[in-house]
């Protein structure tokens, strides 16, 4: 019997890829980490930039080491675990009902390390790779990070500690917890006195493509420049792009010497890779002097940094006037594109029992990156993912479950993991990973059912919390599992689905075109049209007429006054005001569907009112009789009629209760309408400018169509009306899900 050959390959540090194409990053979901290190799938920890230039001119400047003694440092040893990222991915996939079609899931910071290796290769880099469901999960090696931090902590001076703190302080004094318009003056003026903490964190989860590798990256975001578009806009068909509003905040020393210039250019290259990977368009640098006083603030656009570095004075002096300037950013991108595509294509994905290690050791071999099978340590990596999945489920906000019940469940889970610490069998680890997913689904269903801690199902779950015994023989699964896996693998990609939608839409247009011409006897009814004629000639004509129809419709609209404004829709007893753009699409200004919630509240109020009126009509006489009977008994005893009218007070109390609910609903509606009016007054100039720009674009588009004589069949020679429409800022009807 031949011994199994372990996987091991190397990638040269000098290699680059010819294919460095990058797809525009897109945010799928976001999550926040609060002061208790709890993960929430929302943007509650997102901060908003606010640092006017006038504050830099204050006497003495802004002290970036103020409050150093009260610095609130994260007590948890963060080693780049995937728990928060996995929780966000799980939430998104449950919402959309589909798996995210990517090759690699990891943190942005790890990819930045790999991307910077051509110019920053003094430190050892160790990453672990887990295979699950055909995807690569890449995370940092905890032991390597802890050893590096231990060495770094032992060499840090007091000045270095204060310089690190100054970065957090700069973020604290230059950001607000809400957009400026929503903050009180007191909150704005006292932000410099706020305790600085590095626990709270806001992160985005971004999908991007580099070369052929599809990546899902989790990345911390420092703040938003102005505001963040609501994610509900995307669900309603709006093209919201939160990434365009994010900002990266950095601090550095004042650039006042050649050495300082060299240091700043290295930092700027590192910052560019950090922002480029997830599509953050803007960087703001705070320049501090030797006393850690903030002296100036400068803004850089991410897309301009490559040229800034290429033409920088320090690089020109290094290379000499005779050499062509090196574009370091493009060099990093080409190297990273080759490396990440090589990793995605060469690491086997058919065996989830194995894990792999990506390692760069400048001491052992500074010219190559090693990728090898991680036979010894794959157990720990797999069980980390196992723990992360269970942790996601156990940290759900479980209603009606007290602390004792949750603590008992957590204790049992911990004990079960302590029993697994000696597992070395890869097949058993694979089975444990599958068990983790199964338990994750069970916990989620349990959360949805909202049981109490005395529920028999809960007690059964606690008793069964232990995973399978580690030495149990792995059973072979039946043909049903093979069929199920085959179905999962045959699920079409997002691109294939969109392509089929466009094809069906075009076929329906062609069919409608033929039927209408047959009704007018312009085409024979029984004779079947030639397939080549339909595919090559009729297709071009139908697409042109559809696009022309939409184009003239939009042109006619642009000759009329803008329809942007406030409109009223039925809601409660008061109408609800909504904002509409010049293109008759609604602007969502708040989280959640306010109109839907208000209507539901109002409907429930009306139902409760009807139920009450029916109950009163049915039982009021009984209540009156009981009250009169008690009065009669009191009179027979020689007393007086009772002053206690509790029989009728019950009706009065419920009427007051319903009235209070109605007042709350109407008050919320009126307040919402006022906010909508304020929002519209701010957006109105933008709407007018957008409408004017659209008119100019339409005029230029019509001139191009007339000058180039664009017609039904000119797409064959490169004059495609749909492409021309998109080049002038208008949508191509054939690319839209609904062209009405």
The pLDDT tens digits of the residues spanning 661-698 come to: 999 998 998 998 898 889 888 888 888 888 888 888 88
Verify that 231 and 102 share a domain, yes or no.
Answer: yes
**CA separation (Å) from 247 to 224, 254, 271, 282?**
6, 21, 11, 5
Rounded CA separation 31/33 (Å): 7
For residues 259 and 472, which has the higher predicted lDDT (pLDDT)?
A: 259
Sole residue written with tokens 């109020």: 605
End-of-domain residue from the set 375, 392, 412: 375
Over range 160-167, report the average pLDDT: 92
Task: Kindly report, residue by residue over 170-182, the tens digit of the pLDDT.
Answer: 999 999 998 888 8
Identify the pLDDT of residue 476: 40
Using CB atoms within 10 A of its CB, is residue 329 exposed (0-12), middle (13-18) or buried (19+)? Answer: buried
Q: Are residues 448 and 508 in the same domain?
A: no
User: Which of 489, 507, 535 is the endpoint of a domain?
Assistant: 489
Do 248 and 320 sit in the same domain of this protein? Answer: yes
243: in domain:
yes
- Confirm whether 413 is domain-assigned: yes
Summarised one tens digit per residue, pLDDT across range 517-539 is: 778 877 776 666 677 777 777 77
* pLDDT at position 473 over 50: no
Q: Which helix (H) or strand (E) holds 420?
A: none
Regarding whether 415 and 357 lie in a shared domain, the answer is no
For 712-722, the pLDDT digits (tens) are: 877 777 778 88
pLDDT band at 104 (very low <50, low <70, confident <90, very high): very high
- Percent of the chain at pLDDT > 70 equals 76
Are 282 and 392 contained in the same domain? no
In this structure, the answer to whether residues 350 and 314 fall within a common structural domain is: yes
Task: Please indicate, yes or no, if residue 93 is contained in any of the structural domains.
Answer: yes
**One domain, residues 671 and 685:** yes
CB atoms inside a 10 Å sphere around CB 445: 10
587: containing domain: 565-701
In angstroms, the CA 596 to CA 576 distance is 11
Is 91 contained in some domain? yes
Give 460 or 91, the one with higher predicted confidence.
Answer: 91
Q: How far apart are CA 347 and CA 367, in angstroms?
A: 20
Domain boundary among 441, 457, 489: 489
Q: How confident is the model at residue 414 (pLDDT cuts 50, 70, 90)?
A: low
pLDDT, the chain, mean: 79
Please tell me the least confidently modeled range out of 47-51, 120-124, 310-314, 610-614: 310-314
Q: What is the pLDDT of residue 537?
A: 76
For residue 135, the number of C-alpha atoms closer than 13 Å in the C-beta half-sphere is 17
Please give the helix or strand (H or E) that residue 183 lies within, else none: none
Residue 189: predicted pLDDT = 85
Same domain, 499 and 485: no
Residues 212 and 155 reside in one and the same domain: yes
Please check the confidence at residue 390 and state whether its pLDDT lies above 80. no
Q: Does 740 reside within a domain?
A: no
Cβ atoms within 10 Å of 25's Cβ, excluding its own: 23
Q: Report whether pLDDT(649) > 80.
A: no
The interaxial angle of helices 594-636 and 646-707, nearest 10 deg, is 170
Sheet holding 135-140, edge to edge: 8-12, 368-373, 355-360, 125-132, 135-140, 104-107, 213-220, 201-210, 22-33, 39-40
Token duo for residue 18: 């010819």
Instruction: Read off the pLDDT of residues 296-341 as tens digits, 9 standing for 90 and up.
Output: 999 999 999 999 888 876 665 555 555 677 889 999 999 999 999 9
- β-pairing verdict for 368-373 and 135-140: unpaired
Number of domains in the chain: 4
479 falls within a domain: yes
Q: Which residues of 392-430 are buried (b: 16+ CB within 10 A; e: fewer)?
A: bbbeeebeebeeebeeebeeebeeeeeebeebeebebbb
352, 450: one domain: no
pLDDT given at position 196: 92
Indicate whether 1 belongs to any domain.
Answer: no
Q: What is the DSSP letter of 212?
A: T
Same domain, 38 and 126: yes
In this structure, the answer to whether residues 245 and 358 fall within a common structural domain is yes
Q: Does 632 map to a domain?
A: yes
**Average of pLDDT values for 491-498?**
71
Question: Which is more confident, 342 or 18?
Answer: 342
Across the range 134-152, mean pLDDT stands at 85
The SS3 assignment for 175 reads strand
pLDDT band at 428 (very low <50, low <70, confident <90, very high): low
């Amino acid at each position: 019997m031949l011994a199994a050959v372990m996987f091991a390959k190397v990638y040269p540090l000098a290699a680059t890829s010819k294919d460095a194409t990058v797809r525009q990053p897109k945010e799928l979901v976001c999550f926040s980490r609060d002061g208790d290190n709890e993960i929430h799938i929302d943007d509650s920890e997102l901060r908003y930039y606010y640092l006017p230039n006038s504050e830099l001119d204050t006497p003495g400047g802004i002290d970036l080491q103020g409050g150093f003694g009260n610095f609130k440092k994260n007590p948890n040893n963060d080693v780049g675990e995937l728990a928060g990222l996995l929780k966000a991915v799980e939430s998104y996939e449950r919402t959309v009902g589909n798996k995210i079609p990517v090759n690699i899931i990891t943190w942005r910071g790890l990819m930045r390390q790999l991307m910077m290796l051509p110019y920053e290769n003094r430190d050892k880099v160790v990453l672990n790779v887990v295979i699950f469901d055909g995807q690569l999960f890449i995370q940092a090696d905890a032991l390597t990070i802890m050893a590096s931090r231990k060495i770094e902590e032992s060499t840090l001076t007091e000045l270095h500690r204060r310089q690190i703190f100054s970065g957090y302080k700069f973020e604290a004094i230059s950001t607000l917890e809400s957009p400026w318009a929503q903050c009180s003056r007191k909150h704005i003026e006292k932000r410099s006195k706020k305790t600085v903490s590095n626990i709270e964190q806001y992160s985005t989860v971004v999908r991007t493509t580099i070369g052929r590798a599809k990546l899902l990256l989790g990345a911390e975001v420092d703040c938003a420049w102005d505001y963040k578009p609501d994610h509900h806009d995307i669900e309603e068909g709006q093209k919201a792009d939160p990434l365009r509003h994010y900002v990266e905040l950095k601090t550095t020393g004042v650039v006042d010497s050649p050495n300082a210039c060299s240091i700043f250019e290295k930092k700027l290259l590192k910052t560019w890779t950090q922002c480029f990977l997830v599509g953050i368009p803007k960087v703001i640098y705070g320049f501090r002097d030797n006393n850690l006083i903030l002296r100036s603030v400068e803004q850089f656009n991410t897309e301009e940094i490559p040229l800034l570095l290429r033409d920088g004075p320090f690089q020109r002096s290094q290379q000499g006037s005779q050499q062509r300037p090196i574009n370091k950013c493009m060099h990093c991108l080409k190297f990273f594109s080759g490396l990440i595509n090589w990793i995605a294509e060469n690491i086997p994905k058919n065996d989830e029992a194995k894990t792999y290690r990506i390692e760069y050791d400048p001491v052992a071999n500074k010219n190559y990156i090693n990728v090898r099978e991680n036979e010894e340590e794959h157990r720990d990596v797999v069980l980390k993912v196992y723990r992360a999945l269970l942790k996601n489920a156990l940290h759900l906000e479980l209603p009606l479950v007290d602390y004792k019940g949750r603590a008992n469940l957590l204790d049992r889970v911990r004990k079960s993991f302590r029993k697994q610490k000696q597992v070395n069998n890869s097949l058993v680890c694979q089975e444990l990973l599958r068990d983790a997913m199964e338990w994750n689904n069970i916990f989620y269903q349990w959360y949805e059912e909202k049981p109490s801690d005395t529920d028999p199902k809960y007690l059964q779950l606690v008793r069964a919390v232990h995973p399978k015994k580690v030495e149990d023989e792995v059973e072979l699964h039946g043909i049903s599992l093979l069929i199920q896996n085959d179905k999962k693998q045959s699920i079409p990609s997002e691109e294939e689905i969109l392509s089929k939608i466009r094809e069906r839409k075009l076929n329906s247009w062609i069919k409608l075109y033929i039927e209408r011409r047959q009704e007018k006897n312009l085409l024979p009814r029984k004779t079947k049209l030639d397939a080549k004629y339909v595919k090559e000639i009729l297709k071009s004509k139908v697409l042109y007429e559809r696009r022309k129809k939409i184009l003239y419709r939009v042109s006619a609209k642009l000759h009329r006054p803008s329809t942007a404004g406030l409109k009223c829709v039925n809601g409660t007893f008061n109408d609800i005001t909504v904002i509409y753009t010049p293109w008759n699409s609604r602007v969502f200004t708040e989280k959640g569907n306010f109109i839907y919630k208000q209507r539901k509240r109002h409907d429930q109020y009306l139902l409760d009112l009807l139920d009450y009126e029916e109950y009163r009509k049915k039982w009021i006489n009984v209540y009156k009789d009981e009250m009169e009977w008690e009065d009669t008994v009191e009179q027979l005893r020689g007393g007086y009629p009772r002053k206690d009218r509790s029989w009728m007070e019950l009706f009065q109390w419920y009427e007051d209760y319903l009235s209070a609910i109605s007042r709350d609903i109407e008050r919320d509606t009126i307040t919402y309408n006022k906010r909508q009016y304020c929002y519209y007054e701010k957006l109105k100039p933008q709407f007018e400018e957008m409408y004017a720009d659209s008119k100019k674009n339409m005029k230029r588009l019509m001139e191009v169509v007339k000058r180039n004589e664009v017609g039904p069949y000119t797409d064959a020679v490169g004059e495609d009306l749909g492409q021309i429409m998109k080049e002038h800022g208008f949508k191509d009807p054939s690319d839209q899900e609904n062209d009405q």
